[in-house]
Amino acid sequence: MALTTCFWGTRGNVMSVARERLIYGGHTTCLAVHHGEEMLIIDAGFGLANLAASHNSENPASKGGHKFNLILSHFHWDHIQGLSYFIPIYFPGNEIVIHSPFEREVVTEILNLLFDGSYSPFNGLDSLPCTWTFRKLEHDAEIGSFRVDFHETAHVGETYAFKLATDTGSIVVATDHDASRTQVNDSLVDWAQGCDMLVHSAMYTPREHLQLGGFGHSSFIEAVRNAERIGAAHTLLTHHAPLRNDGELAEMEHNLQHMYNTDTHRLSFAREGAIYRVR
């Protein structure tokens, strides 16, 4: 059974709209991991609205009776802002299961802020016709055929990386992580060992990382070092800086590939809409 991932949003911080950023994509973070017919969604940036277009109101699959599993790494706007545009929430009978290592009260407080009547035409989570289920994620939890584990990342505020393991293979997703924070990073690297695919934050050039003080994201060089240490067959770098154009990203990707790729190990910059085979 194939294990694949599709990036619906690859951009960090803020939605980025420009003709010269279409290849790597402009929507904020959201990816779906597919194992056979099952899908786990990770994070709900505007990419989730993009994903929802395949579950739009004309699609009978959206008319209710469906269950969607969403895992949240943290609650920065660029990781949750797409949830209110996820079409299945508008249909009764759909169940949205939100998994995260956070306490239920934390999740509902933040999502009620997102759906607050001052910021949206809704009046809190309960004003939507779908059913919301909140699951506090335990280590090595089972979600369908996935075994899901988590590890803290070095970010601004409490944030997690996830490991999704199946009979086919495994993927580690660490979209928001500053690999220069040695203590957390060493532990994360140990924990991630043995995965087939690594999705890793890489927002900055080393100079930008120094100037901006990291802000919870890795430089390209540190991301590559983590890729080496973790040793996944395929590493995907994501959370592209908002104004980084396709040309610049393609050139960096080319240079890093030249430096890193071997017959058994390769890396790419995640592209919106692209489907990658984990195994």
Partner 1 sequence: MVRGVSMKVSILGVRGSRPVSSLNTMRYGGNTTSFRIDIDGLSPIFVDGGTGLYEEGIRLAAQPDPFKLNMLVTHTHWDHILSYPLFEPFYRSDCEVTFFAPVSEKTDFPRLIQGQYHDRTFPRSFDEITARIEYRSFAGGEKFDLDGVSVSTFQLNHPGITLGWRVEHNERAVCVITDNAPIEKNYLGQGMREKAAADPEGFEKNFNDSLIDFILGADLVIYDTHFNEESIKNRRHWGHSTPRSATAFALEAGVKHLLLHHHAPEDADFEVEKKLEEARSMVGDQNLVVEAAAEGMVLWL
Structure tokens at 255: 């240079």
The rounded distance, in Å, linking the Cα atoms of 96 and 88 is 8
Residue 56 binds to partner 1 (criterion: CB under 8 A): yes
The rounded distance, in Å, linking the Cα atoms of 250 and 23 is 9
Residue 75 binds to partner 1 (criterion: CB under 8 A): yes
Using the minimum distance from each CB to partner 1, give the nearer residue, 60 or 157.
157
- The closest of 188, 183, 199, 181 to 71, measured between CA atoms, is 199
Q: How many CA atoms lie within 13 A of 49 on its CB side?
A: 14
| Options 103, 158, 186, 251; binder of partner 1; rule CB under 8 A | 158
* Residue 227 CB, nearest approach to partner 1 (Å): 24
As a three-state string, the secondary structure of 137-199 is CCCCEEECCEEEEEEECCCCCCCEEEEEECCCCEEEEECCCCCCCHHHHHHHHHHHCCCCEEE
Residue 110 binds to partner 1 (criterion: CB under 8 A): yes
The rounded distance, in Å, linking the Cα atoms of 121 and 141 is 35
Residue 2 binds to partner 1 (criterion: CB under 8 A): no
CB 10 within 8 A of CB 236: no
Beta bridge partners of 100: 136
Q: Which of residues 124-143 bind partner 1 (CB under 8 A)?
A: none
Strands 3-9 and 234-238: unpaired
* Residue 278 CB, nearest approach to partner 1 (Å): 25
* Residue 202 CB, nearest approach to partner 1 (Å): 17
| Options 42, 216, 227, 271; binder of partner 1; rule CB under 8 A | 216
Residue 97 binds to partner 1 (criterion: CB under 8 A): no
Question: Which 8-state DSSP code applies to residue 204?
Answer: B
CB 116 within 8 A of CB 125: no
- Write the CB contacts of 59 (distance below 8 Å, at least 6 apart in sequence): none
Binding segment toward partner 1, per CB under 8 A, in 10-18, 128-136, 165-173, 197-205: 10-18
| Options 29, 73, 84, 226; binder of partner 1; rule CB under 8 A | 84
* Residue 77 CB, nearest approach to partner 1 (Å): 5
* Residue 26 CB, nearest approach to partner 1 (Å): 3
Q: For partner 1, how many residues bind (rule: CB under 8 A)?
A: 42
CB 57 within 8 A of CB 25: no
* Residue 249 CB, nearest approach to partner 1 (Å): 14
Binding segment toward partner 1, per CB under 8 A, in 33-41, 140-148, 156-164, 196-204: 156-164
Residue 12 binds to partner 1 (criterion: CB under 8 A): no
Residue 46 binds to partner 1 (criterion: CB under 8 A): yes
Residue 118 binds to partner 1 (criterion: CB under 8 A): yes
Site residues for partner 1 per CB under 8 A: 13-19, 21-22, 25-27, 46, 49, 53, 56, 74-77, 80-82, 84-85, 106, 110, 113, 116-121, 156-158, 215-216, 242-243, 272
